[in-house]
Amino acid sequence: IHPRMEKVLELRSLGNTGLKLSCVGFGASPLGSVFGPVSDEEATATVREALRLGINFFDTSPYYGGTLSEKALGKALKAVGVPRDEFIVSTKCGRYKEGFDFSAARITKSIDESLERLQLNYVDILQCHDIEFGSLDQIINETIPALKKLKEAGKIRFIGITGLPLGIFNYVLDRVPLGTIDVILSYCHYGINDTTLEDLLPYLKSKGVGVISASPLSMGLLTENGPPEWHPASPELKVACKNAAEFCKKKGKDISKLAMQYSLRNKEISTILVGMKSVEQVKVNVEAAMELANGEKDEELLVEVEKILKPVKNQTWPSGIQQS
Ligand code: NAD
């Protein structure tokens, strides 16, 4: 990577928050060893490289690796020693190794635990984690009001909600006062194999809500190594993605780079959160963004890969409990 690349990653505004996020965001779930073991040294080196190359946004959760991700990220940020106002941290609440709990009492305790693990005084964003597993009405009537209190107390700056089914976002945003929810995090819905988030963008814009899109590699489907054991996709979707990855490899190309560039194209999305666990992955993903910014994109390869994935386009998987 050329030294010129330092700190030149594009920044994008996140809704009405005033935050400017690097277009490539750092997904810290791999630091919880959910995609294979990662040592504290590797975690720190990865975070250091991310900051050096201009990534300023880090996303974690108490759920990732059963609190391991938060601890590793906290240690890494401290070791790198960047001033607090130069990075943006988002963590979550309501989902834990032990299960889901979106009660006001649990959320209020949860943030203190997270801050301790992260070794921070506040987080920039606190998001209700995978709300389709809870009662959406409890989220609206109990969890969000509790988060507002945390905001007033200065422990969090902004409030978010996350989950897989896109309908949860309309449900909640239609039922809370405008400006209550600052951001949403959607995952696996804005990548080469699934673009369904696109239809929701005008609605989110009308609500002034910032958009974070996670898992551009579909949690490993769009990688040469393939997804982890626990990946919830159907065998059909897994096979199609494997075929697409092999096709790229035969052409001497990397499907992950193509996938990153695809997701990064839409500037209505503030950041593309990609899970990273090595210095090399950080370099590759930032380089993908830089190439795109320089107008380099592989349209021919994209057309071929889209052809391979056409039979499974927008295929997803069930998540959460049935909402009435
Ligand atoms: P992802 O699509 O980003 O894929 C991550 C996997 O790809 C990991 O195994 C990683 O090591 C690997 N990888 C990364 N860069 C690569 C490259 N250039 N080449 C090959 N492999 C590469 O999926 P993800 O990690 O699940 O999602 C990203 C982040 O978004 C998470 O870490 C998390 O912070 C967030 N997220 C949040 C939710 C939620 O709130 N419900 C859900 C999913 C993801």
Q: Which of 205, 214, 185, 212 is nearest to 270 (CA)?
A: 212
Asked if the model's pLDDT at residue 185 lies above 80, the reply is yes
* Banded model confidence at residue 5, pLDDT cuts 50, 70, 90: very low
Question: pLDDT-based confidence at 6, cuts 50/70/90?
Answer: very low
Question: Ligand 1 pocket check: which of 223, 286, 316 to mutate, most ligand atoms within 8 Å of Cβ?
Answer: 223
As a whole number, mean pLDDT of residues 193-213 equals 98
Ligand 1 centroid to Cα of residue 274, in Å, is 4
* pLDDT confidence of residue 204: 98
* Residue 163 covered by a domain: yes
Buried b (16+ CB within 10 A) or exposed e, 49-70: bbbbbbbbbbbbbbbbbebbbb
SS3 188: coil
CA of 149 to the centre of ligand 1 (A): 31
Q: How far is the CA of 220 from the centre of ligand 1 (A)?
A: 7
> Across residues 302-309, what is the average pLDDT?
98
pLDDT in tens, 27-63: 999 998 877 889 999 999 999 999 999 999 999 999 9
> Using an 8 Å Cβ cutoff, are 144 and 94 in contact?
no
Q: Is 242 within the bounds of a domain?
A: no
Residue 219 placed within a domain: yes
Res. 297 pLDDT band, cuts 50 70 90: confident
Chain segment 244-276, per-residue pLDDT in tens: 999 999 999 999 999 999 999 999 999 999 999
284-295 average pLDDT score:
96
Query: Does 1 score more than 50 pLDDT?
Result: no
In the chain the beta strands, taken as DSSP E runs, fall at 11-13, 20-22, 24-27, 57-59, 88-93, 95-96, 99-100, 123-128, 156-163, 183-187, 210-214, 271-275
- Total domains, the chain: 1
- Looking up tokens 């769009």, which residue turns up? 222
Residue 319 belongs to some domain of the structure: no
Secondary structure (3-state) at 214: strand
Q: What is the mean pLDDT of the chain?
A: 95
pLDDT at 323 (0 to 100): 57
| Alpha carbon of 42 to ligand 1 centroid (Å) | 16
Residues with CB under 6 A from ligand 1: 27-30, 35, 59, 129-130, 162, 185, 187, 214-220, 223, 256, 273-277, 281, 284-285
SS3 241: helix
Interval 233-249: pLDDT, tens? 999 999 999 999 999 99
Residue 221 pLDDT > 80, yes or no? yes
| % the chain with pLDDT above 70 | 97
64 catalytic residue (yes or no): yes
For ligand 1, atom 19, the nearest C-alpha belongs to 256
Does the pLDDT value for residue 4 go beyond 90? no
Within-domain flag for 27: yes
Query: Residue 264 in contact with residue 28, Cβ under 8 Å?
Result: no
Q: What's the whole-number mean pLDDT along residues 221-244?
A: 97
CA nearest to 8, candidates 251, 294, 205: 294
Q: How far is CA 256 from CA 121, 131, 212, 281, 285, in A?
A: 35, 28, 19, 10, 8
Q: Tell me how far apart the alpha carbons of residues 224 and 324 are, in angstroms, rounded to a whole number.
A: 40
Taking only the tens place, the pLDDT of each residue in 134-147 is 999 999 999 999 99
Side-chain half-sphere CA neighbours of 47 within 13 A: 33
Tell me, rounded to whole angstroms, the distance of Cα 53 from its chain centroid. Answer: 18
In testing the pocket of ligand 1, which one of 192, 217, 222, 255 has its CB within 8 Å of the most ligand atoms? 217
The half-sphere exposure of 301 on its side-chain side, counting CA atoms within 13 A, is 21
Is 23:56 a contact under the CB 8 Å cutoff? Answer: no
In a domain, 306, yes or no: no
What is the residue with the minimal CA distance to atom 5 of ligand 1? 275
pLDDT at 162 over 50: yes
Evaluate whether residue 191 is within a structural domain.
Answer: yes
DSSP, residue by residue, 45-78: HHHHHHHHTT--EEE--TTTTTTHHHHHHHHHHH
- Distance between CA atoms of 258 and 254, rounded to whole angstroms? 7
And the tokens for 30? 């791999």
| Residue minimizing CA distance to atom 34 of ligand 1 | 27
pLDDT value at residue 33: 82
Place of tokens 């990153």: 260
* CATH code assigned at 199: 3.20.20.100
Is 182 within 8 Å of 151 (Cβ atoms)? no
Q: Does 128 map to a domain?
A: yes
* Residue 129 domain boundaries: 3-224+255-296
Interface ipTM above 0.90: yes
Per-residue pLDDT tens over the stretch 105-157:
999 999 999 999 999 999 999 999 999 999 999 999 999 999 999 999 999 99
* CA 110 to centroid of ligand 1, rounded, Å: 23
Q: In this structure, what are the phi and psi dihedrals at residue 8, rounded to the nearest 5 degrees?
A: -120, 10
What 144-153 contacts at long range (C-beta under 8 Å, 24+ apart), as own/partner pairs, is 144/172, 144/176, 144/180, 144/181, 145/104, 146/104, 146/107, 146/108, 147/93, 147/107, 148/180, 149/108, 150/107, 150/108, 150/111, 150/126
Predicted pLDDT at 124: 99
Report the C-alpha gap between 311 and 58 in whole angstroms.
34
d(CA 209, CA 205): 6
